[in-house]
Amino acid sequence: MDLFEKCKNYNVAKKAQELGIYPYFHYLESGQDTVVNMEGHRVIMIGSNNYLGLTSHPEVVQAGIDAYKKYGSGCSGSRFLNGTLDLHIQLEKELANFLHKEAVITFGTGFQTNLGIISAIAGRNDVILCDKENHASIYDGCRLSYAKMYRYEHNDMEDLERNLKNIPEDKGILIVTDGVFSMGGDLCKLPEIVALAKKYGARVMIDDAHGLGVFGEHGRGTAEHFGLEDDVDIIMGTFSKSLASLGGFMAAKKEVVEYVKHNSRPFIFSASMTPANAACALAALKILEREPERVKHLREITDYMRNALKSRNIPIRDSVAPIIPINTYDDNKTFYACKVLFDRGVYVNPCISPSVPVGEAIIRTSYTATHTKEQMDEAADIIKDVFDNVLPNMPNFENIK
């Protein structure tokens, strides 16, 4: 059998393109902002993870330019060898201080960060308990670790404890959860998770990619929000969202960070963060520390939009993060709605299985601290018109799967 037979037979994307409802790979002709130029026309951007609005901040942009001039375009090696810059060390120290942790290690991407942490810290004699709605990178990290993995029902603490009770005492246990779930916009039940971890001798890791810069009085994330910073053993985060760059990090006790540094294959065998990425993340972190009111602004604009959508009878899911999912349920309906919204000047994200369960498709909208109420009203009015007057009369598309 030809290995590429599956490629020849794959036509899902082609079908959607032929139907005119293919929703992916739209290209930007301007920087990430609350309003962007995309494929030749103005679009209100409510499909970005630029939570604090820092991607175009002059200080962040200048930091990247200065790093290019001083260090060049790349490091040409891994952190283990020639790829460590003073910028990396400074960023790690600043992050550790900000997060109230002993040490930090940085990775090239957020996805790589979860692979690198989990595959190093858990092994064949260990057990990982994983929320069913965790990010794909967590699941891949679990597979790479060779540890036994059990999935517990989403935010179901009774199911988590049922699994914990069945783990032999000679096994190391890691509970891994998103802090903020990227599709639903809900928070993990961290107080209950911490209590169960203490009861059964487990360690706790939070993927706070969507929590950093979003929750907590100072933007330190989910653990700060719940007042449990000392009770979370490992905090994972990314630079590609609130910190307006690219990369990821792990924050933990120094001994844990040192172990991962010397045992994580994704870390050891990958080139380090580029100088510009490290410099931009560091500049964004300094702005967050200096301007914690951005976190408050983000919450206020998200609440404003949530109320605007509710008042227009848009079928949104309950969420507490700057992520507001709109229920569409059907894949074709989701694709069609996203196409029409894009054509009318609103960019949103279609989410179908496997990113959400089959039959639970959503339009994922997300918000930025620098959005204005006028932009939110304009977007909400367009969404209402599409849901009230366009979707009820949408074409009867064939199943594209």
Query: What does the pLDDT look like over 31-79, one tens digit per residue?
Result: 999 999 999 999 999 999 999 999 999 999 999 999 999 999 999 999 9
- pLDDT score at 237: 98
- pLDDT score at 400: 59
Q: Is 351 helix (H, G, I), strand (E, B) or coil?
A: strand
48, 137, 145, 182: the active-site residue:
182
88, 225, 241, 371: the active-site residue:
241
Is residue 171 annotated as part of the catalytic site, yes or no?
no
Answer yes or no: are the C-beta atoms of 161 and 209 closer than 8 Å.
Answer: no
- pLDDT score at 399: 63
Q: Is 38 helix (H, G, I), strand (E, B) or coil?
A: strand
Q: Is this prediction's pTM over 0.75? A: yes
Distance CA 208, CA 191 (A): 15
Q: Is 201 helix (H, G, I), strand (E, B) or coil?
A: coil
Q: C-alpha angle with apex 135: 132 to 141, nearest 5 degrees?
A: 95
Q: Which fold has domain 8-45+292-393?
A: Aspartate Aminotransferase, domain 1 (3.90.1150)
pLDDT, tens digit, 9 for 90 and up, residues 111-157: 999 999 999 999 999 999 999 999 999 999 999 999 999 999 999 99
Start and end residues for every CATH 3.40.640.10 domain found in the chain: 58-290
210, 225, 339, 371: the active-site residue:
210
- pLDDT score at 19: 86
Match domain 58-290 to its CATH number in 3.40.640.10, 1.10.240.10, 3.30.360.10, 2.40.170.20: 3.40.640.10
Q: Is 163 helix (H, G, I), strand (E, B) or coil?
A: helix
User: Residue ranges of the chain with pLDDT lower than 70?
Assistant: 398-401
Distance CA 378, CA 222 (A): 31
Q: Are strands 41-45 and 126-131 parallel, antiparallel or unpaired?
A: unpaired
- pLDDT score at 50: 97
Start and end residues for every CATH 3.90.1150.10 domain found in the chain: 8-45+292-393
- pLDDT score at 252: 98
Is residue 182 annotated as part of the catalytic site, yes or no?
yes
Is residue 384 annotated as part of the catalytic site, yes or no?
no
- pLDDT score at 206: 98
